[in-house]
């Protein structure tokens, strides 16, 4: 895959902030996606121990809408950027890019374990990775980073707005009856309604969308195996 908007990753905090704000202006939120044309969904995840610079990255490709696994790609690398909330994309994206560069199949959409625009500067990991890869991208996080919300009803399919600085930056989405919601936000090149629909269509048996669940399982397996060596 081609990489767009290349920049250095080993940068100062001020330079990282400047890059975020610069690339944020290139985000597209109203790109129309025909869900019937989506054939391949990619999911990206990273795992690491908080006090360790070793990163474990995985990208999973699944067929859509059947959610049949196509392939799993993985990578390990040393972090070049410290663990700083709000800037985690500078730590986590480089090993993911090494995977995406070598993909033989181009996905139609990307789901990230992280935030899109539901971020202090409106530029979380899903936005950052989406714009670098020029892919429609969705942030699907297990916890909230910024914003306030009312708890959606307990039924699968219910959702409520995630509000930050007087605007909606995402949705709190119940993917299974009676389980904790996930936090969905637009990353790049699609609207929130489409992002929610895709998350629902990818979440059939579990709280986490199936492509992301598979990626999460892979990176945690890699990290655990590494500690046993």
| pLDDT tens digits, one per residue of 120-138 | 999 999 999 999 999 999 9
In angstroms and rounded to an integer, the radius of gyration of the C-alpha atoms of the chain is 16
Closest of 61, 63, 21, 16 to residue 43, by C-alpha: 61
229 pLDDT band, cuts 50/70/90, is low
pLDDT of 203: 95
- Yes or no: say if 226 and 56 are a contact pair by the CB < 8 Å rule: yes
Which pLDDT belongs to residue 70?
97
Q: What is the residue extent of each domain of the chain?
A: 13-144+180-228
pLDDT tens digits for range 156-189: 999 999 999 999 999 999 999 999 999 999 999 9
Encoding tokens for residue 199?
Answer: 């998350």
> Mean pLDDT across the stretch 65-83?
94
Q: Is the pLDDT of residue 33 over 90?
A: no
Q: Where are the beta strands (DSSP E) in the chain?
A: 40-47, 54-63, 69-78, 109-112, 137-141, 159-164, 167-173, 182-188
pTM here? 0.94
Please choose, from the candidates 35, 57, 25, 9, the residue with its C-alpha nearest in 3D space to the C-alpha of residue 138.
35
Confidence category of residue 226, pLDDT binned at 50, 70, 90: confident
Question: What count of other Cβ atoms lies within 10 Å of the Cβ of residue 124?
Answer: 31
The mean of the pLDDT values for the chain is 94
CATH topology of domain 13-144+180-228: archaeoglobus fulgidus dsm 4304 fold (3.30.2170)
What's the full length of the chain, in residues?
229
Q: What is the pLDDT of residue 49?
A: 82
Q: How many CA atoms lie within 13 A of 4 on its CB side?
A: 12
- The reported pLDDT for the residue numbered 31 is 75
What would the mean pLDDT of 201-207 be, rounded to a whole number?
94
Three-class SS of residue 47?
A: strand
C-alpha to C-alpha distances, 76 to 133, 214, 219, nearest whole angstrom? 20, 17, 9
- Residue 99: pLDDT band (50, 70, 90) is very high
Give the 3-state secondary structure of residue 211. helix
Task: Please state, in angstroms and rounded to a whole number, the distance separating the CA atoms of residues 93 and 191.
Answer: 23
pLDDT of residue 47 exceeding 70? yes
pLDDT band, very low/low/confident/very high, at 50 (cuts 50, 70, 90):
confident
Mean pLDDT of 26-38: 88
Q: How confident is the model at residue 24 (pLDDT cuts 50, 70, 90)?
A: very high
pLDDT value of residue 51: 77
Q: Is the pLDDT of residue 190 over 90?
A: yes
């Amino acid at each position: 895959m081609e990489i767009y908007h290349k920049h250095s990753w080993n940068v100062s905090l001020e330079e990282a902030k400047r890059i975020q704000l610069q690339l944020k202006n290139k985000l597209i939120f109203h790109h129309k996606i025909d869900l019937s044309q989506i054939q391949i969904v990619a999911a990206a995840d990273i795992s690491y121990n908080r006090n360790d610079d070793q990163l474990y990255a995985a990208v999973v490709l699944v067929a859509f809408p059947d959610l049949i696994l196509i392939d799993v790609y993985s990578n390990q690398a040393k972090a070049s950027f410290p663990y700083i909330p709000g800037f985690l994309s500078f730590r986590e994206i480089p090993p993911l890019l090494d995977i995406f560069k070598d993909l033989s199949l181009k996905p139609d959409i990307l789901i990230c374990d992280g935030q899109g625009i539901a971020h202090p500067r409106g530029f979380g990991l899903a936005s950052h990775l989406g714009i670098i890869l020029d892919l429609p991208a969705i942030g699907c996080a297990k916890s909230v980073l910024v914003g306030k919300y009312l708890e959606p009803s307990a039924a699968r399919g219910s959702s409520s707005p995630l509000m930050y600085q007087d605007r909606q930056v995402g949705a709190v989405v119940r993917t299974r009856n009676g389980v904790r919601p996930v936090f969905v936000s637009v990353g790049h090149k699609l609207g929130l309604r489409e992002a929610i629909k895709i998350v629902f269509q990818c979440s059939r048996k579990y709280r986490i969308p199936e492509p992301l669940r598979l990626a999460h399982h892979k990176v945690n397996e890699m990290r655990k195996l590494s500690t046993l060596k």
